[in-house]
Structures are given as C-alpha cells and as structure tokens.
Amino acid sequence: MKIDSRVTQRLLPFLSLAVLFTALSIASPYFLTANNLSSVARQTAVFNTMALGMTIVIVSGGIDLSVGSMLGLSGLIGTMALERGYSIVIGVAIGIVVGTVCGFLNGLLVTRLRIPPFVVTLGTLGIFRGLALIFSNGLPVHRIPPGFAFLGGGNLLGVPFVVWLLVLCAAAVHFLLEHTRLGRYAFAIGSNRIASVYAGIPVNFHITAVYAIGGALTGLAGMIEASRLMTGQPTAGQGYELQAIAAVVIGGGSLNGGEGSVVGTLIGAFIMGLLSNGADLLNISNYWQQVIIGSVIILAVTLDEMRKRRAV
Amino acid sequence: MLLELHDIQKRFGGVTALRGANLSVAAGEVHLLLGENGAGKSTLMKIVAGIVERDAGRMLWNGSEVSLRTPPEAAAIGIAMVHQESMLAPHMTVAENIFLGREERLKRDLGWVNRRRIVERARRLIEQYNFPLDAETRVDRLSPAGRQLVEICRAIQHGSSLLIFDEPTSSLSDHETEQVFRIVRDLKARQMGIIYITHRMDELRAIGDRVTVLRDGETVHTGNLAEVTTDRLIQYMVGREVAAVYKREHLAPGEALLEGLHLSVHRSGLKDISLTLRRGEITGMAGLIGAGRTELCRALFGVDPIDAGEILVNGKAIAVRTPRDAVQAGIALVTEDRQISGLALRLSIAMNITMANVERISHWGILDLRAQNRMAAELGAKLRLKTVSPGQAAATLSGGNQQKVAIAKWLFRQASIFLFDEPTRGIDIGAKAEVFELMSELARRGAAILMVSSELPELLHVADRILVMRQGRISGELPRDTTQEQIMKLAVMESAA
C-alpha cells in the first residue's frame, strides 16, 4: 500500500511495451534499425499528438469522437492557407486555430445543450467532415511549398522533428494535467462532476477549455499528417478517433473520467504503433493486424480493471 | 438454528476483513449486528448473501453446510439482503424495480412482462405495509428514504426466510423508522430470521432480541439484548470506555452571519422560510423526510436557487444562483450523500481536501503540490484522519473518515457558514463523536452552523436551538432543553404551539 496507486497504474502498460519491444527485436532483424524506429516514430506521431488531447478530455469525463474529422478539417484549411502563399508557420498556426475552434465548439455544445459528449461529438464528427468536403469541393490540396515536408519528415539533430515536437507536447500536457489548476479541475470534474459543482469550481468553463485544448492538439496532428502526405486531404483522419481513444484507454485512462496520464497514453500509442509495425515486418496481413490490435485493447482494459478491483 | 457461522475468515489482498466471526440466527428472531465501520459487518453479511466468498470457516443453513457463490444462489435457499446503498435501476419505476429479475413470475404466456400486473402487485405489496410509495414513480425521483423502502419491498417479495437489513433506517426520519420497525416485527411474527445492522444506539431496544458485536473482524460479544447495557455495547464496539460521547459547552451566539428572509422555492416546495444563523451557534434542524430540510440547504447553497425572498450574508443581500456564488460568500454544504455529491472518490485525499480552494495552493494557475500535500497532511492530522498517506484514494476510506475529508474540504476553504445535512449518517460512534467535536470547535471559532439531523438525541445534545420543519415551512423553534416529544409534535402536527 506504500506505492501510490497511480504509479502501479502506469507499470502494467510500461511492462507490456517493454515485452513487445524485446519480442520484436528478437523476432525481426530489421526491427532494431534506426530506419525502422524512426519510421515507427513518424507513423505514431499523428496518433500520439491526438491522443494527448484526448487524454485531457477523457480525464475530465468527456470523450471526443470528432477528432478524426477535426484533423481532416484542420489539415485541409491549413494547407489551403499554404496554397494561397501564407508562410509555413502561419499555415501551421491556422491549422491549430481551426482545431481549437472546433474543440471550443464541442465544449460549448456539451456544456450549453447539456447533452452527452458522445452524442455531441458524434454530430460534429459529421459536421466537420462535411465542412472539409464543402470547402475543398471534395478535392485534395496539392500545391504546397516543399519546405512544409520538414514538419512530418525532417530530422533535427539526427532525430525526426516530429519526435521533438511530440516530446514538447507531451511535457506540456503532462504539466497541464498534473501541475496546473486547469488539470486539477479536469480530474475533479471527471471523477465527480456534482461534487465539483458543489465545490464552487467553474465546471462549464473548464470543460469547454479542455475540449479546446484537445482541439488544438488535433489541429497540430492534422498539419503533421498533411505534411507527411504533402497534400491537404478532406478525407484525412477517418477512424483516427478510435486509435486515439484506444491509446488513452490502453494507457490506463478510464472512460468514466478522473483517470488517465500522459505517460500511459504515450505507451498506449506506442504499443499500437509497434504492433502494426511488427505485424508488417513479420508479414502478418493487414486484416489480421486489426484483429490483433482489437484484442490488445480488450486485453489491456481487462487487466487494468482487474488490478483496480483488487486494489479497492 | 436457521443460520450458523463459525470462525469465518476473509482477506482482501493485504487487508484482513474478518479474522474469526461467529454468528447464529434462529427463525423468529431479530439479531442485531453491531460494530464500528470497518469492523467487518458488511463483509460478513456479503458472505451470507453470496456476494463475497469466504476464505475459511463454516456456514450452516438449517444445520447443513453451504457455500454460496452468487446472490441468486443465496436467494434460492431463502436469504435476501436489503442494501444500505441503493442497488436499484434509477430509470425504472418503483414497481419495475421491485420485480426486477423476477419478471418470470409474472409473465403471461408469451414471455411479455405484463406492466399492469406488475404495478398492481407492487401496489398491493406497498399497501399491505403501508409505505408512502407510488408504484409508478421513477426511482430517480425518490428521496434516499423512498429508495430504501423500495429495497425493502424487493427483499420482502422474494419470499425469503432470512432477511438482512444493512442500516435500513440511517436515512429515514423517525416516523419512517417506526414503519420499518413495524415491518420487521411483522416479518419476525411470520417466523423469519432477521439480521439487523445499525449504528443508531437509540433504536436497538425497540427492535432487537439478541445482539452480536464485531470488532476488527472478530466476534467480541454475543448474547441477549436484555442482559447488556447500551454503554457496555458501545464499549465492546470501540474497545474503550466512552465517557459522555458528546457534550458541548454552549456559548452566547454572536452576530448574524446568514439570514434567509421569506425564502420560497417552487420546484422543491419551500414556502416563506425565514431563519438566522449566528456566529458561534449550532442551529439544529429537525423534521420528517420530505419536510424540506435538504431542500432548504440546497436553496441556501444555490443548487435550487430561490424564487422569492432574500439571502443576506454578513448583513448584505447577495444573489445565490449557483453553488459557486454560495462558496464565494463563505457558505459550505456538507451533503447528506457524500459519495454522490461530496467526494471525488477516485482522487486522492489531498486532492479532495483542496478541491474547493485550489486557488490557495496555486499561483497564476500553477499548483504547488508540496504545499498541497503539507497542508492536507496537517489538516488530516488535526482531524485524526486514519490514512496511510494523503496520496491514497478517497474511496479506500471508511465512512467516518470520508466524512472527515468532506468536512476538511470546507475547513480548507475557510468557510464561515456551514450547512451540515445529516452529518453522522452511516458513520460509527467514534467518528460521530469526532464530527460533533469538530462542529463545536468550528462554532467556538466563530462559524455559524446549521445541523440537519433525523437523530433527535443527537440534535438535543449538540444544537443550541432547534428549528422544526413541516411540509416546506418552518413550523417552530425550540430551545435546546426541549424534548423529543416536543420536536415530534412540531414535525407532524398543525401549529402545535
């Protein structure tokens, strides 16, 4: 009982990641090469960034099903700005702003209409995707300055730029969750919303803020994705919301709110990234990969629940 | 003997819940089970009801050994439990809840659940026992007392020969308690065995035949109730002498901190309520369930904002439209239902304690975790909180310690006006005394306190004066040397004064 329960909570996913890593190193000679590892990092960067935002939302007791569409819309509008000749920094900033506005809208709907976030974001999932298709006429944006490829594909000091970016975002979100008033309120609201209202916490304001921050990170993920593909695809990000949610949940987050951590989410996202990379290296078919990843999600949450039941 | 338990043992991980519990119940007997929270009463009863499996020991049912793995197995041989915390489906009606899982008994031919028949049977059951319940109300509209009654109906209709009551009256008013007693006596007369867990020492004699006391997972006393004094029982429970469990010095009250003038709330039925809470004074509040006591607390705290009237804090009229307004005016509400509205159970004790005043441990929105842990630990030590560390989840605490955390939250906020709604509900005697001490200490330091309680002896011991509510109005005020009879008169009758 000496160990903080939140430490043990992180232990299990971490062990799974280590086991998976070791197993893949033995099973495939190509796994432990710089090339392969950096490609895994690039592949998971998009999910990871989204999943960081999803972590705050889930901790606060919410859920955001619209992030996949949001990613598509942000990436599209960001690249449209680049196409019109705005600088790369401005273009990326615009993508992030679009995500923030989308998240803010989700938060506003959740708190003002008082309907469950599952339903609100299911609705905006359709709305954001529709808007992306309307703005683009369904056509991808191609005329993008070549320098933009650096965001998703470049290296800085021998390490993929997205990894630096991810470390930065993860540190910021970790700090936000564990060391700021906003993060504390997110935990409180997620653990017991009524008690939070009774404690005088401005609950609606903070719920809205949480969705907006999640949106900002999704906007960034949208720009990374656009940079990796070097196109602004209105259909980008379809189904990504499930990957992001799965990463949070594998990492010990609870869909009931009040639980979740950045370290856990990162591990969750890497477990899924390694699984699909490993399956590729070992020539396991795409179809089977989906079966494996689905099973891992169920297994991870089952183990986590068993641990919690034993603890109380 | 109907049921015999010999040397029952149970461990949960590293924690020993039961180390040697013995208990026997005969048909036609009301057997009281006493013990502080954490003594193992609930675990023992969960073993009897098939919710938890025992590690060791023997359980005999009508003389032959049984092992029950699930509640349906227990129900099949005739054991049912009335739960303390509601295990009902909130979105279904009273009638549907009573027969939940038992629909097959009522169905006609094709497997349809016949709604009308269910409602009819529920009505008959309710009428038979004279409960103030409507078979077609949704359970989430009921008060805790109403839900408890539904739980009782559920257990009764299952046709059991052993019924376990886990603190059935902890949320009930005296009038409703009397009804529960009538039911218990009625069941006893029908040769049922009854195990009755309670924390209310005043109600033991009204109902019990024999008594078993558990302490730290062991049976420390079993015998006829008539042969043991209440003081002796308390001593068995806490393992030490209790000299005057609660006694407080009464001080002259200071100036008015909170005044309510002609308050009305339409949706909760409060009508023209005026009251004054003064510095250094504990104002008691009595009344039946449904008289509007909790509703008044909710109105003063901004949960159900007032439709008419005025709330004054420190002599200044303020608008209390939300709990946030109330908190900022220095008002604290310790709710009746701490697990639902008081605590964030999954979060740590330190996080709970600091929850209503995170500003105090942060600068520019950034938390000072060291200050948080230091201040929470100090407050915890002052309240004699029994914990391993402030990082421990609030869910792991006993009821009494959870209540202390719920109170500590408001001490950390440095509130000056405290509304306590049933502050001793579901907590053991030792913790009760500590909660009273804490309230006295707050009053001494100049807080104004409203104490809503259904336990009249507690009100008489602790409060400086007692307001009584009836049907949404304040029906009278009594001095502290009044009697239970006087209070009851005001609670049930048209203007007795």
Asked if B263 and B229 sit in the same domain, the reply is no
Domain annotation covers residue B249? no
Instruction: Say whether pLDDT at B245 is over 60.
Output: no
CA distance A131 to chain B (A): 36
Same domain, yes or no, for B402 and B270?
Answer: yes
pLDDT of residue B303: 93
A179–B367 C-beta distance less than 8 A: yes
Between chains, do B342 and A198 touch, taking CB under 8 Å as contact?
A: yes
**Dihedral angle sign, alpha carbons of residues A283, A288, A290, A296:** negative
Q: What's the pLDDT band for B86 if we cut at 50, 70, 90?
A: low
- Distance of residue B327 Cα from the nearest chain A Cα, in angstroms: 6
- What are the tens digits of pLDDT across the range A48-85? 999 999 999 999 999 999 999 999 999 999 999 998 98
Residue B245 lies in a domain: no
The amino acid at residue A283 is: N
Residue of A nearest to B345 (CA): A191
Joined tokens for residue A39? 């490609």
Share of chain B above pLDDT 90, in %: 27
**Beta carbons of A196 and B355 less than 8 Å apart:** yes
The residue of B338, B341, B418 whose CB has the most chain A CBs within 10 angstroms, and thus the best one to mutate to test that interface, is B341
Each residue's pLDDT tens digit, B15-64: 678 888 999 999 999 999 988 766 788 889 989 988 888 999 999 999 88
Residue B387: Cβ within 10 Å count: 20
Nearest to A199 among B355, B366, B367 (CB): B355
Residues in contact with B232: Cβ distance below 8 Å, sequence separation at least 6, in sequence order = none
CA-to-CA distance for A45 and A49, rounded, in angstroms? 6
Nearest to B258, CA basis, from B332, B193, B200: B332
User: Would you state the structure tokens that stand for residue B80, as one six-digit string?
Assistant: 């049912």
Interface test with B, best of A3, A184, A193, A213 (most B CBs within 10 A): A184
The reply to whether B432 and B484 lie within a common domain is: yes
How much is the pLDDT for B113?
A: 61
> Are A198 and B303 in contact (CB < 8 Å)?
yes
> How distant is the Cα of B295 from the closest Cα of chain A, in angstroms?
15
B13 closest CB neighbour out of A4, A179, A310: A310
Please enumerate in sequence order all residues whose Cβ is within 8 A of that of A203, keeping only pairs 6 or more positions apart, or say none: A111, A185, A189, A193, A196, A197
Q: Are residues B234 and B274 both part of a single domain?
A: no
B468 neighbors B287 (Cβ within 8 angstroms):
yes
Residue B246 lies in a domain: no
Give yes or no: residues B287 and B209 share one domain.
no
Q: What is the pLDDT of residues A243-295, one digit of tens each?
A: 899 999 888 888 888 889 999 899 889 888 888 888 888 888 888 888 888 88
Say if the Cβ atoms of A1 and B303 lie within 8 Å.
no
Asked if residue B243 belongs to a domain, the reply is no
pLDDT at A33: 83
Residues of B in contact with A187 (CB under 8 A): 344, 347, 351
Which positions in chain A touch B322 (Cβ < 8 Å)? 197
Under a CB-based contact definition with an 8 Å cutoff, are residues A141 and A231 in contact? yes
Would you say B153 and B127 are in contact if contact means Cβ atoms under 8 Å apart? no
Bridge partner residues of B5 (DSSP): B23, B59
* pLDDT beyond 60 at B111: no
Task: Please indicate, yes or no, if residue B175 is contained in any of the structural domains.
Answer: yes
Q: Least CA distance to A189: which residue of chain B?
A: B344
Distance from CA of B402 to the nearest CA of A (A): 13
B212 and B290 in a single domain? The answer is no
Residues 6 or more apart whose Cβ sits within 8 Å of residue A152:
A42, A45, A161, A162, A224, A225, A226, A227, A228
Summarize chain A as % helix, strand, coil (round to 5). Answer: 75, 0, 20
Instruction: Please judge whether B344 and A311 are an interchain contact, meaning their C-beta atoms are less than 8 angstroms apart.
Output: no
Among residues of chain A, what percentage have pLDDT more than 70?
A: 95
Phi, psi of B314 (to 5 degrees): 55, 35
CA pseudo-torsion sign B98, B102, B105, B109: positive
Minimal C-alpha gap between A190 and chain B (Å): 9
Encode pLDDT of B258-275 as tens digits.
Answer: 999 999 999 888 899 999
Residues B142, B198 share a domain: yes
Specify whether B186 is located in the same domain as B306.
no
Among positive and negative, which fits the CA dihedral A31, A35, A36, A42? Answer: positive
**Does residue B282 share a domain with residue B170?**
no
Cα radius of gyration rounded to whole Å, chain B = 23
Encoded amino acid at B70, one letter: T
Distance CA B142, CA B146 (A): 5
Of B341, B366, B409, the CB nearest to A179: B366
Enumerate the residues of chain A whose CB falls inside 8 A of the CB of residue B398: none
Closest chain A residue to B370, measured at CA: A179
Q: Name residues whose C-beta falls within 8 Å of residue A161's C-beta, 6 or more positions apart in sequence.
A: A150, A151, A152, A153, A154, A155
Q: What is the DSSP letter of B393?
A: B
A190-A191-A195 Cα angle (round to 5):
100
Model pLDDT for residues A104-159, shown as the tens digit of each residue: 999 999 999 988 999 999 999 999 999 999 999 888 888 888 888 888 888 888 88
CA B115 to chain centre: 33
Across A6-10, A102-106, A110-114, B103-107, the highest mean pLDDT is recorded for A102-106
- Residue B119 placed within a domain: yes
Same domain, B294 and B377: yes
- pLDDT greater than 90 at residue B340: no
In the chain, the amino acid numbered A149 is A
Strands B256-265 and B270-278 come out as antiparallel
Question: What CATH code is carried by the domain that includes residue B367?
Answer: 3.40.50.300
| List of domains in chain A | 35-311 (1.10.3470)
Between chains, do B341 and A195 touch, taking CB under 8 Å as contact?
Answer: yes
* Residues of B within an 8 Å Cβ radius of A: 13-14, 301, 303, 322-324, 326-328, 333, 335, 340-347, 351, 355-356, 358-359, 362, 365-367, 369, 388-389, 391-393, 395-396, 409, 413
Of the candidates B317, B312, B189, B183, which has an alpha carbon nearest to the alpha carbon of residue B258? Answer: B312
Residue B278 reports pLDDT greater than 90: yes
Q: What is the DSSP letter of B289?
A: T
Same domain assignment for residues B191 and B260: no
**Look-up: residue for tokens 């309710």?**
B126
Q: Which amino acid belongs to residue A27? A: A
Q: Which of B238, B270, B291 is the last residue of a domain?
A: B238
Distance, in Å, from the CA atom of B302 to the CA atom of B369, rounded to the nearest integer, reads 31
Residue of higher predicted confidence among B277 and B492: B277
Query: What interface predicted TM-score (ipTM) does this complex get?
Result: 0.81
| Residues B405 and B347: beta-carbon distance below 8 Å | no
Q: Which residues of chain A does B371 touch, with a Cβ-Cβ cutoff of 8 Å?
A: none
Contact B252, B280 (CB under 8 A): yes
Domains identified in chain B, total number: 2
What Cα–Cα distance (Å) separates residue A275 from each residue in A47, A261, B7? Answer: 14, 21, 51
pTM of the complete model: 0.74
Is-contact B332 B341, C-beta < 8 A?
Answer: no
Q: Which of B198, B196, B160 is nearest to B36 (CA)?
A: B198
Q: Measure the CA–CA gap between A58 and A186, rounded to whole angstroms.
A: 9
CB < 8 Å to B323, chain A: 197-200
Q: CA geometry: angle at B161 spanning B160 and B165, to 5°?
A: 75
What's the DSSP call for residue B340? I
DSSP assignment letter at B338: I
Q: Which residue from A1, A194, A310 is facing B341, i.e. has the nearest CB? A: A194
Does the beta-carbon distance from A1 to B359 stay under 8 Å? no
3-state secondary structure at position A290: helix
Chain B interface mutation, best of A9, A179, A191, A197, highest count of B Cβ atoms under 10 Å: A191
- Name the least confident of A20-29, B235-244, B293-302: B235-244
> How many other CB atoms are there within 10 angstroms of residue B104's CB atom?
9
The single-letter code of the amino acid at B437 is: E
CB–CB contact B365 A197 (8 Å)? no
Q: How many angstroms separate the most distant Cα atoms in chain A?
A: 60
Which residue segment(s) compose the domain that B390 sits in?
256-492
* Residue B103 included in any domain: yes
> Which H or E run contains B81?
strand B79-82
- Residue B239: the pLDDT is 67
- What 3-state class would DSSP assign to B41? helix
Choice between B210 and A289, residue whose per-residue pLDDT is larger = B210
Answer yes or no: is pLDDT of A214 > 90: yes
DSSP 3-state of B497 = coil
Q: Where are the beta strands (DSSP E) in A153-264?
A: 155-156, 159-160
A291: alpha, beta or left, given left = phi > 0 and alpha = psi -120 to 50? alpha
Local structure of residue B396 (DSSP, 8 states): G
Question: Quick one: B84 and B169 in the same domain?
Answer: yes
**Could you say which of B324, B335, B365 has the minimum Cβ distance to residue A200?**
B324
Mean pLDDT of B88-104: 79
The confidence score (pLDDT) of residue B242 equals: 44
**How many angstroms separate the CA atoms of A239 and A241, rounded?**
5
Amino acid identity of B217?
G
CB pairs under 8 A between A and B: 96
**Residue B198 CB partners (closer than 8 Å, separation 6+):** B32, B34, B167, B168, B169, B170, B204
Quickly count: other Cβ atoms within 10 Å of residue B88's Cβ. Answer: 20
B466: in domain: yes
DSSP state letter for B32: E
Which pairing describes strands B465-470 and B282-287: parallel, antiparallel, or unpaired?
parallel
The shortest C-alpha distance from B293 to chain A (Å) reads 18
**Which of A178, A184, A197 faces B358 most closely, judged by CB atoms?**
A184
